[in-house]
Structure 1
Amino acid sequence: MLVQQQLSFLLQDCAAIRSDLRRVASLHALIVKLGFEPDVVLSNHLVNSYCKCGDTAAAHNVFDEMPHRNLVSWSALISGYSQCGRPLEAVKLFGGLHSANPRICANEYVYASVLSSCSVLSNQAAGKQVHGLAVKSGSESTVFVANALITMYMKCGLCGDACKVFDLIDGSRNSVSWNSLITGFADNMEGEKGLEMLRRMHLLGFVLDRFTFMAALTICTYLDELQCGKQLHCMAIKHGLDLTSPVGNVIVTMYSGFNAIDEAEEAFCCIVEKDNISWNTIISACSHCSYHDRALTHFSTMLVPDNFTFASALASCADLASIRRGLQIHARIIRTRSGHVDIGVGNALINMYAKCGSIKYAWAVFNAMLDHNVVSWNSMIAGLSCNGYGNEAIEVFERMVSDGFSPDYITFVGLLSACDHVGSVKQGKDLFDSMWRDYGIEPGVEHVACLINLLGRAGTLSEAEAYAKKFDNVILWGSLLSACRLHGDVELGKRAARRVWEICQLSPLSPSSSSPYVLLSNMCAADGMWEGVAEARKIMKERGVKKEVGNSWIEIGGVVERFSVSDFSHSRMDEILTVIASLSWSLKSSEL
């Protein structure tokens, strides 16, 4: 008996510290050798220890060999499957609990484990059945079972049912209950309700923890509530949670969503122990805010980048068209990855080389990749298209289909753009028609805009107008208006301008791009219609549409120098203006 107790204590220690699997196996062998294998308590400890060490197969073998099982046996294995990321097996095992031994009834710990698995699977039917059994056994009002029910219903998109369970435990709620509800509202894009729950939680005196802040800050981002986000940031500072990587990372993401890159970098600097997610977050934030040079600076500071980091850094190189930095990153990938390139990183390399104009290197990366996905093919098609290799892009598409890949929405944007570049009207129309007919892809604004551009460049403006009328979008009429200006078709241009004007007046949300407004303004200015110019500018201002500021940059000695329209803040601006004046004078002299 004493030996059995000692073995039980040792197995408990292994489970508690998630010990080396070999240690558990050694204890298992000793149990078999001493003839204690039929002991239910030792077997339960073995099942639990194997699960805690991640070997659910060994745990299930011990479970199957047990001559007698009790509730703890079932609970240990169901919980083990749930915690080891095998939710389907946990649900199946729970289903066999009553049929195996009707006298064994699940307790609140079993219900919590299986409900957690239903949440991961978003299995609404199974979750409701488990809920019914929990009600029948009286476990529904147990706080951790109720919390699991709230999470399960939120994962299944049933916010109303989650709120009913939340109301049921009015007197026994804890921080987990509130966090489950707030996180659920955040995941289901019901941010207003989530923030209201946050206010109630705070007023009732519950402690806001990292899970609360992570959910609430996410809500502020997609609700466009910067002021609320700043208040939460201050509260996180008060609780000392801004120093932790989980909350700090979300703060960085929140500020980047508002293009507040300086605040994002300050929040990043406050994180005490930065993990890979922290570095990836700030690099993605800089890239999102178009500060690609800063993104690459952070990348160069990071010690151990992962595949996501490499992909983000390469995206910044692509947007900067900096092939020198892209080559350096590629060399680092080869050195640290022993030549093996992850498919996501490979796609980023293709995109980077294509945007830097080196289609030869993009081809080399594509051909060297062991596996391709749809993104790989799309990157290659788009790269060839934007570099003027329209016919080659179509050949790659044919290879893609012959290799068994199904094209998607993005594929046809690249293909129609390729046809636009080479002026292949018939092929462009055939591809456009095949989208729905052969692949079930409904054409979007990007596809129709490419087709109208193609037809407009070819001079077939009446056919382009037919497509604009059929899909009737302000972007499309703007494309047609541009084609009319190119070919000098004043009458059609007036019709297109009139339709752009009508849509702009009728739809307060259309468009978000400044291009149609600017085209309309220019068209009015060309005809001397200055009232129309003023009206177009007025509508832009009322709807918050701003013309994108023109930017240019040049890389000198590894440093990216950025220039914007009307920005004279560069430290060497006097020298730059002197050189420009000198060049201007030289050009004028040569004309005389």
Structure 2
Amino acid sequence: MQSTFPGFSANSMCIAPAAAIAGFLSCIEQCLVTRNLKLSVCLHAGLIKSAFNRHTLLGNRLVELYSKFRSLRCAESAFHDLPFKNHQSYNIMLAAYCRAGRIDLAHQLFDRLPDQHLVSYNTMILSLARQGFHRQALDLFRRMLKHFVVMDEFTVVSVCAACTGLCFLKSLRQLHASVIVSGLEFNLIMSNVMIDSYGKCGDVDSSQHVFDQMERRDVVTWTSLVAAYTSARRLQEARAVFFSMPERNTVSWTSLISGYEQNKEEEAALELFEQMMAKGFVPNPFTVVSVLSACASLGFTERGRQVHGFIFRRCIGLDTFNVFVSNALIDMYAKCGNMVSAASLFHWMPKHDIVSWNSIITGYAQNGHGKQSLDVFEKMVTEGVRPNHVTFLGVLSACSHAGFVSEGCRILCLMEKEYGVCPRDEHFAAFIDALGRKCQIKEAMDFIECLSCEFVPASVATWGALLGACRVHGNLEIAKRAAESLFMLDPKNGARYTLLSNVYAAAGLWDDARRIKVLMKEKGLKKDPGYSWLELRNGKHMFVARDTSHYETEDIYRLLATLVDHIKDERVIVVE
């Protein structure tokens, strides 16, 4: 072992036990730092050879080491070699089972514990919550209370995580009441977690109540309350809390920025980001991802490019650990229509996750590059990456935009058969859209009826795709049937009435078109006007049909008329 672990040789096994134990512990730490499983197995062999594998402290550390590598078989071997197991031995093995997703084995071991005390319960509950087994965590907590085991702050934090994961507000309130009844003092950590949990479960008023009861607060307390208000879409109150903070940091700024971005207030999010930068705070990867998402939603290519430059200069999130920053950049460029930059970033990344693949596939699809989207999908499958429902939605959209109906049909059939992904409404709608774009309206109608025969009821998405196709290609009979179904499924959506009215108008049935408009007015329905915008010199210019509010309206309409004339001329040339 001389070459592998400097300063520790095979002769160490002949020295005093205390020194040998210290040496082995040092070697285990080295294995943890280097994350080298092969090295760990060699060390384990050395421990067995010297009989130190039976030492409780070393055995515990070895089990923990294998647990970090998710090598369950090796962890079990090291655990079973221990003749004298203590509570820590069992707790480490419990955590190893939970980390590997073997909840059945974890429960079996827990039930065999000679003494199920608080630390064992905490270990099990925390491990279950961290691995996403929230219901099992809550069940175990209830079992703990039935056995009169008194909770502590670690229990509360873990159970809060389980309640949040399930969005079980009632269970969270019961936990809160149990803590008060038990006489357990709410310390800073517990209060912060409770504020955060109430916010994520949609009860911001309880978050505020916990906040008001606190005698001591830190920046985490204030940030948690800001996040609670943004989650409840109460942005003005979130802003008021934020600017009342005695001290702010990057995390608190990020919480407010991401809250505005997630609530579709992208321009306000960008303004807050500029304020943050002006005050000298350095953004973290989570900040720039929110900002890039805002740029993507607004189509602000130049602003997004500036953020990209800042990320590159500051090296924010450019390591493989923060691959999601690169994913956000790809998504931003794709949504802004710059697939050259998106593809360049994708190929530059040293490692791709499923989000990376989905972003580039969907980007190509949305920008009309159907063949490239399908090529990337084939490459993804070849590299052994398993597609999910988002992947297939992007691929089916690519087939729709490119007119690849046969390929779309093939992929829809393969989703569940080969990849175990059950098609959803949006997948069926994408395929119906593909049929509609190829003027196969009757085939689209037959497909919906076929779904109904297989006990898959047609949805708003599928009927909406069919009605949209009817508007383009003018199939009045099927349009009426699709609209009637939509009026039943989505009666308060004015856009459906407008779409049917346009179908009637295109067919020259003006009385029917007016009748739908009157019906829409009687029901008090409105369709939000469609608009487009462009970014020029970091400014946003919005355009709505028949709008005259822009300060350069006359020049805009004059240029628009010139463009229309050019298009007409081009059509004449093409026909000739």
Range class of TM-score, shorter chain: 0.7 to 0.9
Counterpart mapping for 1:24-173 below 5 A: 37-40=15-18, 43=20, 64=47, 73-75=55-57, 77-78=59-60, 82=64, 86=68, 88=70, 96=78, 99-101=81-83, 104=84, 106-134=85-113, 136=114, 139-140=115-116, 142-152=117-127, 156=133, 157-158=135-136, 159-170=138-149, 172-173=150-151
Offset at residue 163 of structure 1 (A): 1.0
- C-alpha distance in structure 1 between counterparts of 2:95 and 2:317, whole Å: 40
Match for 1:375 among 338, 349, 355?
355
Which residue in the other structure is 2:573 paired with?
Answer: none
1:202 maps onto 2:180 in alignment: yes
Alpha-carbon offset, residue 270 of structure 1: 5.9
Is 2:266 the partner of 1:292?
A: yes
Give unpaired runs (5+ residues) of structure 2: 505-511, 563-576
Q: Is the 8 Å Cα contact of residues 480 and 496 (structure 1) preserved in structure 2?
A: yes
Give the C-alpha shift of residue 85 in structure 1: 6.8
Equivalent residues of 2:533, 2:542 under 8 A apart? yes
**Paired amino acid for 2:551:** V
Percent same amino acid among aligned pairs?
24
Counterpart CA distance in 2 for 1:584 and 1:257 is 40
1:533 aligns with 2:520: yes
Q: CA deviation at 1:504?
A: 4.3
Residue 413 of structure 1: aligned partner: 393
* Alignment correspondent of 1:459: 439
TM superposition shift of 1:294: 4.0
Task: Output the CA distance in 1 between the equivalents of 2:232 and 2:514.
Answer: 39
Aligned to 2:373: 393
How has the CA–CA distance of structure 1 residues 201 and 100 changed in structure 2, closer, same or farther, with 3 Å as cutoff? closer
Measured against aligned partners, the alpha-carbon deviations of 1:443-468 in whole angstroms (never above 9, x if no partner) come to: 32222222222323433222121223
State the one-letter code of the partner of 1:182: C
Q: Residue type of the partner of 1:123?
A: R
Gaps of 5+ in 1: 1-23, 506-510, 539-545, 566-575
Write the letter of the residue equivalent to 2:47. D
Task: Supply the distance in 2 between the matched residues of 1:294 and 1:431 (Cα, whole angstroms).
Answer: 41
C-alpha distance in structure 1 between counterparts of 2:434 and 2:171, whole Å: 47
Q: Does 1:263 align with 2:263?
A: no
Alignment-mate amino acid for residue 461 of structure 2: I
Query: Aligned residue for 2:332?
Result: 352
- Kept after mapping to 2: 8 A contact 1:276/1:305: yes
Deviation, 1:359, is 2.5
Q: 1:393 to 1:586 in 2, by over 3 A?
A: closer
Pick the aligned partner of 1:445 from 403, 425, 431: 425
After superposition, give the CA deviation of every residue in 1:186-232 in whole Å (9 maximum; x if it has no partner). Answer: 33443311221112312443222455345544543454333333333
* Distance in structure 2 (CA, Å) of the matches to 1:128 and 1:263: 45
Whole-Å Cα distance in 1 between the matches of residues 479 and 72 of structure 2? 65
Residues 267-278 of structure 1 correspond to what in structure 2 (within 5 A)?
A: 267-268=241-242, 277-278=251-252
Displacement, 1:124? 2.2
Q: Deviations over 1:297-326 (max 9, x none)?
A: 555527544544444332222222122222
| Residue matched to 2:312 | 334
Q: Which amino acid aligns with 1:147?
A: N
Q: Does residue 464 of structure 2 align to residue 478 of structure 1?
A: yes
User: What's the TM-score once normalised by structure 2's chain length?
Assistant: 0.73
Deviation (angstroms), 1:523:
8.0
> Which residue is equivalent to 1:489?
475
In 2, the alpha carbon distance for the partners of 1:298 and 1:84 equals 45
Matched residue SS, 2:468: helix
TM-score (norm. length: structure 1) = 0.72
C-alpha distance after superposition, 1:488-540 (max 9, x if no partner): 433322222222233347xxxxx9x77547657888982515785367558xx
Q: Look up the equivalent residue of 1:368 and give its one-letter code.
A: W
Alpha-carbon distance in 1 for matches of 2:528, 2:271: 25
Is the alpha carbon distance of 1:223 and 1:458 closer, same or farther for their aligned partners in structure 2, counting shifts above 3 Å?
Answer: same
Q: Deviations over 1:164-205 (max 9, x none)?
A: 1232135x4333333333333333443311221112312443
- Answer with 483-492 or 301-310: which moved more: 301-310
The aligned amino acid for 1:78 is N
* Residues 163, 181 of structure 1: 8 Å contact kept: no
For 1:173, what is the secondary structure of its paired residue?
coil
Does 1:240 pair with 2:222?
no
Taking the aligned partners of 2:367 and 2:245, their CA distance within structure 1 comes to 42
Counterpart-to-counterpart distance in 2, 1:298 and 1:336: 20
- CA RMSD, Structure 1 to Structure 2 (Å): 4.7
Shift in CA distance, 91/430, structure 1 to aligned 2, threshold 3 Å: closer
Between stretches 385-394 and 92-101, larger displacement belongs to: 92-101
Which residue is 2:572 aligned to? none
Distance in structure 2 (CA, Å) of the matches to 1:444 and 1:292: 29
Offset of 1:118 from its aligned partner? 3.9
